[in-house]
Amino acid sequence: MTRVILWLTTLLLALGCWAQENKKPVIKQVPPSPTDASSGQQMFKAYCASCHGLQGLGNGPAVAALKKTPSNLTLLAKNNGGKFPALKVANSIQGDNIAAHGSLDMPVWGDVFRSMSRSEAETRMRINNLTKYIEGLQVK
Ligand code: HEC
């Protein structure tokens, strides 16, 4: 009898481990690492690539844990009649149109950048340089 119980316990434990491993992935929140405000590329790699992918295609490693698929950031100009929507992109990064988007899957970067910048000018510089970097990712 004890043997059967022991067996069952082992089986349940094994099942528990299996279930644990097959759980939907969750995003671990870590404090943002400091970056150079003048490098859009460095900031994109550090803060955006986890969701949007290194090339901005919307296929970063965190995608599986998100409710909404991150936008493909290389098609923004193409989907806007060939003109890169710089202001809209800057606003998306800043977090101004969260209400319109109705999604908090994308972090509000304006607040994050404000917390790591010495001045409002540095915060603007980060958002502008990221916007310019994304402009450079556009497909022709
Ligand atoms: C945790 C995942 C995540 C991270 C990190 C992230 N994004 Fe996003 N992003 C999203 C999702 C999801 C959407 C789509 C939002 C929606 O439709 O509600 C989005 C949308 C956007 C859009 C709007 C695109 C459009 O179609 O108008 C821009 C621009 C953008 N992200 C830029 C960035 C930049 C720049 C960074 C880094 C500073 C970043 N994102 C980091 C998940 C993320």
Q: Give the Cα separation of 53 and 61 in Å (integer).
A: 7
Tell me the average pLDDT of the chain: 84
111 pLDDT more than 70: yes
Taking the centre of ligand 1 as the mean of its atom positions, its distance from the CA of residue 87, in whole angstroms, is 14
List b or e across 27-58, with b for residues whose CB sees 16 or more CB atoms inside 10 angstroms.
eeeeeeeebebeebeebbeebbbbbbbeebbb
List Cα–Cα distances, 34 to 93, 117, 119, in angstroms. 17, 9, 15
The pLDDT tens digits of the residues spanning 6-36 come to 555 555 555 454 555 556 677 777 778 889 9
CB 32 less than 6 A from any atom of ligand 1: no
Query: Which of the pair, 81 or 9, is modelled with greater confidence?
Result: 81
Find the helix packing angle between 120-135 and 109-116, rounded to 10°.
130
pLDDT interval class at 52 (50, 70, 90): very high
Residues 73-87 have a mean pLDDT of 97
pTM: 0.82
Q: Out of 45, 52, 68, 133, give the residue to mutate to test ligand 1, the one with the largest number of ligand atoms within 8 Å of its CB.
A: 52
Q: Give the Cα separation of 14 and 108 in Å (integer).
A: 40
Q: Which atom of ligand 1 is nearest to the CA of 88?
A: 27
